[in-house]
Structure 1
Amino acid sequence: MDISSTLFEIIDMRSFSNLWYWIALAVLWSSVSHWTMGVPHDLLVRARRIRGQTEQDLLDIVRINGNRIIYIVDVSGLALLGLVCFVFTGLGTLGFYYGVEFAQAVFLLLFPVCFVVLLHIRAARKLRAGEKTLEFVSKVLTRCRIYTQIIGMISILITSLWGMYQNFSIGVLG
């Protein structure tokens, strides 16, 4: 057995029947819901509990990340939007029109993250316009995290239903 056959056996291109795909999906949504606007949730919890320097650290990192997000959107948002639309149109066409399972898997993995990015942009603009207090920042970040988790739950549900459909249809046909 050579290295390439072993590698392709481990990394199966039939994504929905591969354990690594489901692990990647779980890790993706776990990470995305933990890091709201680049701010770890445990820092928010500690800032609410301890206050003091931790609160100032939270407000600083929220200000820095919020300004960074807004700057990226203002400077190159249109080009990024065009690139993202191009990539997802290609993935969607390859996956759902031509039936390439790997493209379907990547599309279902990454497309819902676009909605999370839009949530982060909206939260960054709201935080820039609002008060710079722990209560306001905490409220905005918590709401953004809850919406992210809702998007994640819907995404995992749709992905698992589509994956089961693909596995059953391949099992019946193959």
Structure 2
Amino acid sequence: MDLYATVFEVIDMRSFSNLWYWIALAVAWSIASHWVLGVPYDLVHRAARHEGQAQEDLEAIARVSCNRLLSLSEQSGIGLIATTSALLTSLGILGFWYGMEFAQAVFLLLLPMILVAFLSVRTAGRIRSADLKGKELRDRLGRHRLAIQIIGMISIAVTSTWGMFHILSYGVLR
């Protein structure tokens, strides 16, 4: 058996019938909903309960994360948008026009994450422009997390529906 066959046996390209794809999908959405704008959400709860130093920590981390995210979007935003658009277009064409299951799976994983990234940049801009602190900051982070969770639920539902359709239509083994 050559190296090429071994690699593709370990990394099964039939993504929707692969347990590792579904684990990766669950982990990706779990991380996305826990790290809201780079701030761990348990810190938001701790700041709401204890305020004081916990609230100061939350405000400092949120300020640094928002500034970092906005700086990245200002410096290389157009390049990132162009590269991301080309990547998603390529994956969409390969996946849904040419029927490559792996491209479909990656597309269905990345597209909603890109939406979360755009939402995060918008929320970071609103936090910085309004200079949110205290309860207003916690509320904004909570609404942002809720939006991420809604996008995640829709994404998982669409991905699992498409995956089931694909498996039932084409079978696990070709």
**Residue 115 of structure 2: aligned partner:** 115
Gaps of 5+ in 1: none
Residue 74 of structure 2 aligns to which amino acid in structure 1? D
Map residues 10-89 of structure 1 onto 2, 5 A cutoff: 10-89=10-89
Contact 1:69 1:121 in 2 (8 A): yes
Q: Deviations over 1:73-114 (max 9, x none)?
A: 111101110000010011001000000100000000111011
Distance 1:166 1:71, change over 3 A: same
Contact 1:130 1:136 in 2 (8 A): no
Displacement of 1:134: 1.3
Residue 32 of structure 1 aligns to which amino acid in structure 2? A
Residue 87 of structure 1 aligns to which amino acid in structure 2? L
**Residue 135 of structure 1: aligned partner:** 135
Identity %: 52
Gaps of 5+ in 2: none
Aligned length: 174
Contact 2:17 2:172 in 1 (8 A): no
How far apart, in 1, do the equivalents of 2:142 and 2:55 lie? 15
Matched, 1:162 2:169: no
What is the root-mean-square deviation of aligned Cα atoms in Å? 1.8
How far apart, in 2, do the equivalents of 1:164 and 1:83 lie? 30
